[in-house]
Amino acid sequence: MKPIPGWRELRYQQVPQMRDYDTLFEKRWLPYLMYFQPAGRVTRSFTTDSHGFRRTAWREKDCSFESFCASGAPRAALVGGSAAFGVGATSDEYTLASCLNRSDRQRWFNFSGRAYNSTQEWLVFLLHLPPSVKTVLIFSGANNLALARLSDQVSPIYNALYAQNLLERLAENGSRSGARGALAALRRVFARGLAAGERTSVPANGSGQTPDEKYQNILTCYQRDLRIWATLRQAMGFQLYFVFQPIASWIPKSLVPEEQRLFELLDAAQVRWATLTEFLKERSGEYVGAIRRICGSLEIPFLDLNAALAFRQPRWLFVDRAHLTDEGYRLAAVEIEKAFGL
């Protein structure tokens, strides 16, 4: 598919909020986590607090981490990657955490990090460790698989990171000119994001793992990470749930014209979008089944939104294949509340 001239601006005309989200790849470098959203960011579509957490709407207020911890209401934490963060929502009011707050039964806060793997998801929660949380909801699944596809190596202990190949290239390159080139490429990736069509991988040098090896390693990480969540559940006394996020290409859904056009623009931006989509789709049933079994072994209630009839409706639910519209996040909240009685 040939690139569509001016595809980025055409995309922004249809979903103007994505212009703001594309700035989120300006990462802050942090110990242990590697990177996180910039702190104190204010845009038309989202805001972050002094820690970099997205502010969550509760009782017509946009709340920070400090106000969440100080609240006397039962506390609930949403963790995950960019879909849990709410990429695609037109404001903080329409993220999944904010939609869950509309029931007013407990106070939800958004602990998610864009481009995070399952290991980073529990790390950011544990490093901040909010007091007396009643509920933790993991809204995740896709990132481990996607990051494995974009990385030459996946560790069964450390998982895979966003732009990992470029980070390794920067660290291992002995020449100053080569290092400068790798650093410039890394800055472009984080500043412009996946939607810009930048490469997050470099040609394999013979040490790359096979797809099956990488797949087994991300499952090993998920097994460990969910076991850590189960241990935290026992120690802290919260209820724990796992929701596998909806992926448009995994759902037997008739795309509406808005979705069709957005997907065409992204697919034309670079071949990697199409190849990544195919890779994710090939593993979808096997992968969801594996996560379901891990959750079952740890007695973690599991919900696959890709199997929800509500997401098969001919409505505009996706801004791209992994992120939702305001209506999509509202619908996800309804399905989650219905499934788990939250």
Which pLDDT score is estimated for 275? 61
Mean pLDDT of 300-310: 97
Distance CA 54, CA 59 (A): 16
Start-to-end Cα distance in the chain: 44
Mean of pLDDT values over 37-50: 95
Residue 2 included in any domain: no
Per the model's pLDDT, the better-predicted residue between 330 and 173 turns out to be 330
Task: Tell me which H or E stretch contains 77.
Answer: strand 75-80
pLDDT confidence of 203, banded at 50, 70, 90? very low
pLDDT at 47 over 90: yes
Q: Which of the two residues, 152 and 54, has the higher pLDDT score?
A: 54
Q: Using one digit for the tens of pLDDT, what is the confidence trace for 244-297?
A: 999 999 999 999 999 999 998 888 876 455 566 666 777 888 999 999 999 999
Residue 199 reports pLDDT greater than 50: no
Within-domain flag for 94: yes
Q: What are phi and psi of 199, to 5 degrees?
A: -75, 135
Domain containing 32 equals: 7-340
Question: What local confidence, expressed as pLDDT, does residue 27 receive?
Answer: 75
Q: Does residue 1 belong to any structural domain of this protein?
A: no
Distance CA 242, CA 137 (A): 6
Say which CATH number the domain at 226 has: 3.40.50.1110
| Alpha helices for the chain (secondary structure H) | 7-14, 17-21, 65-70, 82-85, 96-101, 118-128, 142-150, 164-172, 176-192, 211-236, 257-269, 271-297, 326-340
Instruction: Give dist(CA 86, CA 124) in Å, integer.
Output: 17
Per the prediction, the chain carries an average pLDDT of 87
Q: Domain for residue 330, yes or no?
A: yes
pLDDT at 178: 55
Whether 65 maps to a domain, the answer reads yes
Distance separating alpha carbons of residues 134 and 325, to the nearest angstrom: 28
Q: Which pLDDT score, from 0 to 100, does residue 273 have?
A: 57
What is the band of 113 on the pLDDT scale with cuts at 50, 70, 90?
very high
Q: State the Cα–Cα distance between residues 226 and 295, nearest whole angstrom.
A: 7
pLDDT confidence of residue 104: 85
**Total structural domains within the chain:** 1
pLDDT at 206: 43
Q: What is the mean pLDDT of residues 102-114?
A: 93
How much is the pLDDT for 276?
Answer: 66
Q: What is the pLDDT of residue 201?
A: 43
Query: Could you tell me the two tokens for 235?
Result: 């120690």
CB distance 95 to 48 below 8 Å: no
What is this structure's pTM? 0.89
pLDDT at 198 exceeding the cut of 80: no
For residue 167, pLDDT over 80 is answered with no
